[in-house]
Amino acid sequence: MDTCGICGKKRSFGDKYVKVKDGIACPTCMSIAGIAKKYPNRAQREEFLANLTLDDLDELIYEGEQEQERREKERRANRERKEAEAARIRAEAVERKRAENEAKAAAERLRQLEFDKRNTALQMLDEHSLDVLHEASRRELEQSLNEATRSSIAAISNKNIAMIELANSQMYLQRTIVRQNEEIIRLLRRLVASVEEGRQQG
């Protein structure tokens, strides 16, 4: 009675073997049988174990193994399904990126084609058209130069007029000063004459 009646494992010190009707079972076999889950109530579980034989326990263990295998298959299937979903998402992302790159490349090719068309159209302008363009540009340049020249001449004329007016004002001022000086001299001469006349009379 020191060995498990199911797997034959020898009982060691401290091992909590479970007693059934016709033997004992190790904790591993009891866990696989799932009795604790089926009978969480201790009193019900002890009553069940008192009437449980090793054959019954072996049958429960077989069912437990089948259940564990089924759960393992479900877990493996779920894991494989998640991995497949992740792979699909990655593949879609790669495909979407490839499509975006192709769209960008097509847009770039179209832009380059339009650019080449514009360059070709410009190159196909005949010599007469270019001459017309050059003549129009020349006339516009001459007109701009003429306007600039007229503006410069007008500015110079206005400056010369201002200088002439300033010179005239200076000449008028000088003449006015000369007249005032002459008047002062006459007044002084009269004063001197009056003084001399007074002395002679005295």
Query: Quick one: pLDDT band at residue 100, thresholds 50, 70, 90?
Result: very high
Comparing 127 with 63, the larger pLDDT belongs to: 63
Query: Quick one: pLDDT band at residue 182, thresholds 50, 70, 90?
Result: very high
Q: What is the per-residue pLDDT for 60?
A: 93
In this prediction, what percent of the chain has a pLDDT beyond 90?
A: 46
Q: Tell me the C-alpha distance between 51 and 22, whole Å.
A: 9
3-class secondary structure for the chain?
Answer: CCECCCCCCECCCCCCCEEECCEEECHHHHHHHCHHHHCCCHHHHHHHHHCCCHHHHHHHHHHHHHHHHHHHHHHHHHHHHHHHHHHHHHHHHHHHHHHHHHHHHHHHHHHHHHHHHHHHHHHCCCHHHHHHHHHHHHHHHHHHHHHHHHHHHHHHHHHHHHHHHHHHHHHHHHHHHHHHHHHHHHHHHHHHHHHHHHHHHC
Give pLDDT tens digits for 113-164.
888 888 776 676 556 665 665 687 788 878 876 887 787 777 777 888 888 8
Give pLDDT tens digits for 19-55.
999 999 999 999 999 988 889 999 999 999 999 999 9
Paired with 24 in beta bridges are 19
Per the rule left: phi > 0, alpha: psi between -120 and 50, beta: everything else, 100 is alpha
